[in-house]
């Protein structure tokens, strides 16, 4: 099989990731080794190896301190940000800060080891690369990766670094609703001009983008909004808190002190939430949840909706913001496309439809795979695919955050106070001539590339001096090289573990096969002995029988003996 120019698209989600490629004029989503088309964005460290995906997610309850998830909520964040401190309370794994950077501390191969969010992300990307390579039978290099709308320049750069560490070349970093819009546009029958709102609600983020499709295939992003703290996991947290309280009331015990119990409860809460999208009630039954207490309870859809009411309401605020930013009325929106696993929640669908005065929502594209579809399509276009189907497909992105300068520090964010925004970098423009306040004229240029990563230049009109900065995540070239080498080491470690397990399996299965052979010989020997004993007894008891009778008995004995003798490989017959 062959992915054109080996380019794949990866939808890198907070909770799940998905990989696809363009082949024979269409996108194929690649299943993982378990046959699933999305793979949990989880990494687990054990005494022997690093696990990623399904196997890692299964470790959450048994190996909670060393199983890392939600890395989207770690990447590019400030440890001292109060929101981040709140987030940390939900994670069983340990996070700390060193030289202004975040790290996760885990036990790997019996030793403490620190990993940056970029490294954890690179492990997820590497897994998606492996899934693609196993399916395609050849190596994959180029990739388009999706990120949430609200990722700032630092976070986007961190994803570029993570892909380099994973041995990938990031052709483009793209907002996930934009990727979904590409998938929508590819499947759409030409119906003229459209204003399309893509509503993307996944595990950790809510992204809303409004597209103006003036000409067939030209997707002009006119407004974007996003909330990095609004998604399925936040709904799960509400359910968890509800049941922790119920447990307290019923048994007078606080189960939050037991990380394993909390993880088991969370798993069941997420399951219940999914069930409530189809049923009015879901049951939770966890045996020996805490101090040998069985916890059997239930949750109604109504209760679930009430406990998340404020979160659900903030969804419509985001849509409102996008409409305001684009100066559009609700009635100007021709199509509302739903993507992301959490858009399956009936209440959310109802609220969005009601917000648009009862408008029918478009659920035609696969909510789990749409972003990977779009990313794979873009990967193929960027690798030179000239298919007629893709002709004229063009995406014009918008920046989601405001940019600003204070003295010569560069900030990104939507707050009017610089301190509440992200400091992207600072640069020096020396030799500005002394002049009264407001007199020096400095021309600042913000240049955002297609990945959403910023370059800022400043030009002093009086002196003609200039300077320029490119936003980087802070990893030097040498650090990236070291991390690439370390990743290669982990990969070799993993390969060694796989080979060891394979060799053990071969020896084990040969040993057990031999044991079966011995058992078989034993059974045959018993059968033969019985037949021989029978024959001797008959001969003793029948000294004077007729020829026919002896021949008859001989045939009976041969019928039993011959198959056994042949199986044992002994030549000749008795
Ligand atoms: P995504 O990031 O798009 O893969 O979405 C993952 C999120 O969707 C997780 O929080 C899931 O719990 C949630 N999800 C998936 N299926 C359903 C469903 N049927 N009902 C409610 N939430 C769901």
- For the ranges 227-231, 361-365, 407-411, the lowest mean pLDDT is seen at 407-411
What is the C-alpha to C-alpha distance for residues 419 and 415, in angstroms, rounded to an integer? 9
* Alpha-carbon span 148 to 173, nearest angstrom: 10
| 298 touches 286 (CB < 8 A) | no
Cα torsion at 126, 132, 134, 140 (round to 10°)?
-70
| d(C-alpha 344, C-alpha 76), whole Å | 29
First CA to last CA across the chain, in angstroms? 57
Atom index in ligand 1 nearest the CA of residue 201 equals: 3
Ligand 1 closest atom vs CA 276: 20
- With a 6 Å cutoff on the Cβ, whether 15 touches ligand 1 is yes
Mean per-residue pLDDT for 344-355?
97
pLDDT in tens, 435-478: 776 777 778 787 777 776 777 888 888 788 888 777 666 688 89
Confirm or reject: Cβ of 277 under 6 Å from ligand 1. yes
The pairs formed by 519-527 with CB atoms below 8 angstroms and a separation of 24 or more are 521/568, 524/564, 524/567, 524/568, 527/560, 527/564
Take residue 232 and report the two structure tokens written for it: 């399925």
Which domains does the chain possess?
2-231+310-396 (3.30.420.40), 232-309 (3.90.640.10), 403-470 (2.60.34.10), 477-567 (1.20.1270)
Tell me which of 184-198, 357-371, 377-391, 444-458 is least confident.
Answer: 444-458
If phi over 0 gives left and psi between -120 and 50 gives alpha, with beta otherwise, what is residue 33? alpha
Q: How far is the CA of 369 from the centre of ligand 1 (A)?
A: 12
3-state secondary structure 83-111: HHHHHHCCCCCEEEEECCEEEEEEEECCE
Ligand 1 binding pocket includes 148 (Cβ within 6 Å): no
Q: Hey, which residues does 298 pair with through a beta bridge?
A: 283
Q: Is 177 in the pocket of ligand 1 (CB under 6 A)?
A: no
Asked if residue 180 lies in contact with residue 366, where contact means CB atoms within 8 angstroms, the answer is: no
User: Chain-wide mean pLDDT for the chain?
Assistant: 89
pLDDT at 5 over 70: no
- Angle 138-142-146 from CA coordinates, rounded to 5°: 120
How far from 37 is each of 11, 18, 373, CA to CA, in Å? 11, 6, 12
Helix, strand or coil, per DSSP, at residue 559 = helix
- The answer to whether residues 230 and 250 touch, using CB atoms and an 8 Å cutoff, is no
- What integer pLDDT is reported at residue 441 of this predicted model? 79
Pocket test for ligand 1, best of 32, 342, 346 (most atoms within 8 A of CB): 342
Rounded Cα–Cα distance for residues 130 and 137 (Å)? 10
| CA–CA gap between residue 267 and residue 260 (Å, rounded) | 11
pLDDT digits (tens, 9 = 90+) for 506-538: 999 999 999 998 999 899 999 999 999 999 999
Alpha-carbon distances of 565 from 247, 456, 530, 555, rounded to whole Å: 68, 87, 15, 15
CB of 487 within 6 A of ligand 1: the answer is no
Please tell me the distance between residue 204's alpha carbon and the centre of ligand 1 in angstroms: 10
- Count CA atoms closer than 13 A to 354's CA, side-chain side: 10
**Closest residue (by CA) to atom 15 of ligand 1?**
341
What's the gap between Cα 393 and its chain centre? 27
Mind listing the pLDDT tens digit for each residue in 210-267?
Answer: 999 877 778 889 899 989 889 999 999 999 999 999 999 999 999 999 999 999 999 9
């Amino acid at each position: 099989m062959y992915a054109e120019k080996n380019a794949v698209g990866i939808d890198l989600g907070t909770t799940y990731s998905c990989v696809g490629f363009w082949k024979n004029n269409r996108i194929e989503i690649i299943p993982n080794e378990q046959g699933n088309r999305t793979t949990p964005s989880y990494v687990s460290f054990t005494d022997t190896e690093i696990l990623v995906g399904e196997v890692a997610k299964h470790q959450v309850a048994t190996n909670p301190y060393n199983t890392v998830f939600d890395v989207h909520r770690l990447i590019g964040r400030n440890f001292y940000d109060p929101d981040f401190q709140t987030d940390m309370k939900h994670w069983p794994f340990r996070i700390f800060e060193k030289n202004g950077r975040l790290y996760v501390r885990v036990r790997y191969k019996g030793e403490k080891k620190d990993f940056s969010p970029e490294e954890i992300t690179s492990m997820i990307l590497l897994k998606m690369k492996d899934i693609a390579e196993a399916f395609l039978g050849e190596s994959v290099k180029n990739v388009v990766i999706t990120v949430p709308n609200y990722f700032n320049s630092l976070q986007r750069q961190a994803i570029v670094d993570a892909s380099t560490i994973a041995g990938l070349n990031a052709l483009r970093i793209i907002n996930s609703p934009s990727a979904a819009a590409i998938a929508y546009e590819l499947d759409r029958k030409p119906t003229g001009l459209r204003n399309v709102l893509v509503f993307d609600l996944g595990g950790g983020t809510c992204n809303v983008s409004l597209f103006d499709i003036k000409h067939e295939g030209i997707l002009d992003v006119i407004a974007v909004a996003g909330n990095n703290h609004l998604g399925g996991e936040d709904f799960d947290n509400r359910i968890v808190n509800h049941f922790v309280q119920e447990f307290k009331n019923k048994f007078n015990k606080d189960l939050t002190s037991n990380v394993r119990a909390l993880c088991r409860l969370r798993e069941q809460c997420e399951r219940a939430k999914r069930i409530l999208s189809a049923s009015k009630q879901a049951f939770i039954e966890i045996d020996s949840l805490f101090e040998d207490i069985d916890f059997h309870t239930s949750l109604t859809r109504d209760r679930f909706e009430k406990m998340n009411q404020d979160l659900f309401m903030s969804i419509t605020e985001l849509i409102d913001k996008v409409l305001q930013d684009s100066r559009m009325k609700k009635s100007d929106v021709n199509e509302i496309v739903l993507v992301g696993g959490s858009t399956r929640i009936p209440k959310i669908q109802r609220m969005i439809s009601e917000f648009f005065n009862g408008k029918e929502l478009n659920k035609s594209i696969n909510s789990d795979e749409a972003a990977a579809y779009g990313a794979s399509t873009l990967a193929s276009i960027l690798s030179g695919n000239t298919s007629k189907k893709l002709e004229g497909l063009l995406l014009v992105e918008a920046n989601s955050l405001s940019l600003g300068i204070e003295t010569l520090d560069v900030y990104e964010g939507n707050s009017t106070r610089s301190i509440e925004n992200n400091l992207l970098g600072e640069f020096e423009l020396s030799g500005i001539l002394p002049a009264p306040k407001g007199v020096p004229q400095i021309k600042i240029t913000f240049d955002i590339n297609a990945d959403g990563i910023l370059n800022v230049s400043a030009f002093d009109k009086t002196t003609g001096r200039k300077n320029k900065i490119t936003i980087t995540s802070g990893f030097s070239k040498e650090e990236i090289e070291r991390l690439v080498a370390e990743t290669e080491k982990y990969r070799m470690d993993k390969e060694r573990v796989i080979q060891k397990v394979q060799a053990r399996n071969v020896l084990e299965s040969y040993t057990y096969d031999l044991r079966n052979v011995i058992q078989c010989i034993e059974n045959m020997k018993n059968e033969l002995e019985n037949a021989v004993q029978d024959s001797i007894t008959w001969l003793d008891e029948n000294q004077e029988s007729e020829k026919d009778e002896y021949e008859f008995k001989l045939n009976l004995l041969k019928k039993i003996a011959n198959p056994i003798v042949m199986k044992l490989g002994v030549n000749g017959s008795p």
